[in-house]
Structure 1
């Protein structure tokens, strides 16, 4: 099989490797599509997981179950599937609470170990989620990023009629917008410096779009009867935007910390105001467990607009070009790598 190995920051090499065989409790998946995540870009640029290189990245993937190891039940060879990338011990306090990222033994496919930019992957069978055969692979490959958004919404406890401000209209920001509308949040406000991405977010369900940072506060106040947003989702990963977010939510509001910042970045939290106003902040970064199942259900039932995420696709041999050009293609909300046969269903 072929695998795309990130040998050093900024450089992929295609290698020939043996097709792995599944062991006890494992499944072999023939990978069909893999989305390029913002985390993949951080790894590619040398900003994250440098200690894991050389490595095969990729974790937003779907494919077909092609073999099962001894002792695996409940899965069927030939069935389409998505895979939860987060591998916990399954026994500890955090795993029992579906907080797998805090598991002391946690590993992540494509981040701390080889991932899905390869034609075949062996994965723990317990993390394989069967998918309907009539859903295109390019849509199924959106399950993992959508699961991250599902988890953020769950932790923020967003419900119908709440006003939500999404800071950032990139790929995940757009998914935040769409999920907020699906939940019934209103109004949904989105802000980004890119007019093209704000327009796409409006096309996908946002009620208000703002491209001028200087007019953002006024736009939020006008849309929320002068209160500020019930929930603010920071989806960029910028310290200044996090600081601004605190002033854009209402008293008693919630800040969903989602965008990844640098490890040294700090937020000056106004402690007294937080206490007196009963504000809250919760971090969230990855979908896991039930989040993956819920995301798949939403995609299967067509609850989200997926076309802006599926039109940019590169074969595995052109993965270097796909990564090198991604910042020049702001209209492509997601870039996918095609590894298996093209989906014609």
Structure 2
């Protein structure tokens, strides 16, 4: 038997005993070590997302060790560390072949539309398991999935050196955006958030300019870009008003990276003629998958990301309720991690 945290209804976890799942054809059993709490997990916890999936074991940012493999599965070392791509597509359709798994008609996501990682064990498709170096701590490996999301966003936006970028939102993913942009060579990097603590951390992690007063944001961006506006603006909050702000911060010919999740009915009115004449662009991106996961793991293995701000807050599985209930009171904890006791 194993322990698992089941979200039985919005706002309520129950830790229960469940049978340890067994890997079937083409599957691997992962003994989970640590799981990161994602903003999506909070949306699910608060009843804003995936309510039709409850009761559910959430959790999709996870790492652990290979505990067992099904007959015929090769290439894995029992006891070896691993991370897992949480996006489960059919593997052979038009979209899966293009690494656009979120558009697969049969797509499912661990911890969102199927049981996830807030448990001591999970069975996953072997093709989604990525072996990781034993020397890298679990609290660092658990950042692979959120960093992969940022890698994909940068890839979609075609960020390159010397480009000015505004990151709206200095939370966990906003901070990772800043760090990856710094690694790529974007400049200047301007980060905006109402939280002074989180803006300060973003500045420590690589942002060039921080803004906490919304009334000063537009002028700050114009001053930093010779009055043009930013080459790229990343909305990493999921607020329709901030998406409108993002459009005003872009230069002519600029790019809006739509990253923050909004409600399903929210709309953004694009000025069509201006978009055409200025050759502006908008590209959505939210989840890392496939090669994004491998690239994110490589960046972590080689120390390209400052991980200490993400590893301070850890809770045992038995305290998962308290971990979720107190997240909003802990803005200095960029990432809350759930640790499985051994």
* TM-score bin, normalised by smaller chain: over 0.9
Deviation of residue 157 (structure 1)?
0.2
Deviation of residue 18 (structure 1)?
1.1
Classify the secondary structure of the residue corresponding to 1:247.
helix
1:111 paired to 2:121: no
Tell me the distance in 1 between the aligned counterparts of 2:40 and 2:111. Answer: 10
Residues 289-319 of structure 1: CA deviation (Å, up to 9, x unaligned):
0000000000000001100001100000000
Q: Structure 1 residues 221-230 or 330-339, which shifts more?
A: 221-230
Q: Which residue of 2 aligns with 1:272?
A: 273
Say whether the 8 Å CA contact 2:83–2:141 is kept in structure 1: yes
Q: Which residue of 2 aligns with 1:306?
A: 307
Q: Which residue of 2 aligns with 1:40?
A: 41
Say whether the 8 Å CA contact 1:166–1:177 is kept in structure 2: yes
Tell me the distance in 2 between the aligned counterparts of 1:268 and 1:20. Answer: 47
Q: Which residue of 2 aligns with 1:321?
A: 322
Q: What are the residue-to-residue correspondences of 1:1-345 with 2, within 5 Å?
A: 1-341=2-342
Deviation of residue 73 (structure 1)?
1.3
Deviation of residue 340 (structure 1)?
4.3
Deviation of residue 78 (structure 1)?
1.0
Residues 78-133 of structure 1: CA deviation (Å, up to 9, x unaligned):
11000000000011000000000000000000000000000000100110000000
Say whether the 8 Å CA contact 1:146–1:175 is kept in structure 2: yes
Say whether the 8 Å CA contact 2:317–2:341 is kept in structure 1: no
Deviation of residue 20 (structure 1)?
1.1
Tell me the distance in 1 between the aligned counterparts of 2:97 and 2:175. Answer: 31
Say whether the 8 Å CA contact 2:316–2:341 is kept in structure 1: no
Deviation of residue 226 (structure 1)?
1.1
Tell me the distance in 1 between the aligned counterparts of 2:333 and 2:269. Answer: 35
Say whether the 8 Å CA contact 1:31–1:340 is kept in structure 2: no
Long gaps (5+) in structure 2? none
Say whether the 8 Å CA contact 2:168–2:191 is kept in structure 1: yes
TM-score normalized by structure 1? 0.98
Tell me the distance in 2 between the aligned counterparts of 1:27 and 1:92. Answer: 23
Classify the secondary structure of the residue corresponding to 2:19.
coil
Say whether the 8 Å CA contact 1:190–1:209 is kept in structure 2: yes
Tell me the distance in 2 between the aligned counterparts of 1:19 and 1:46. Answer: 28
Deviation of residue 71 (structure 1)?
1.4
Residues 223-246 of structure 1: CA deviation (Å, up to 9, x unaligned):
111111000000000000000110
Tell me the distance in 2 between the aligned counterparts of 1:71 and 1:54. Answer: 33
Say whether the 8 Å CA contact 1:86–1:288 is kept in structure 2: yes
Deviation of residue 200 (structure 1)?
0.3
Say whether the 8 Å CA contact 2:84–2:128 is kept in structure 1: yes
Long gaps (5+) in structure 1? none
Tell me the distance in 2 between the aligned counterparts of 1:240 and 1:160. Answer: 29
RMSD: 0.6
Tell me the distance in 2 between the aligned counterparts of 1:187 and 1:340. Answer: 43
Tell me the distance in 2 between the aligned counterparts of 1:336 and 1:244. Answer: 32
Classify the secondary structure of the residue corresponding to 1:42.
helix
TM-score normalized by structure 2? 0.99
Tell me the distance in 1 between the aligned counterparts of 2:17 and 2:265. Answer: 39
Classify the secondary structure of the residue corresponding to 1:151.
helix
Classify the secondary structure of the residue corresponding to 1:181.
helix
Tell me the distance in 1 between the aligned counterparts of 2:32 and 2:226. Answer: 49
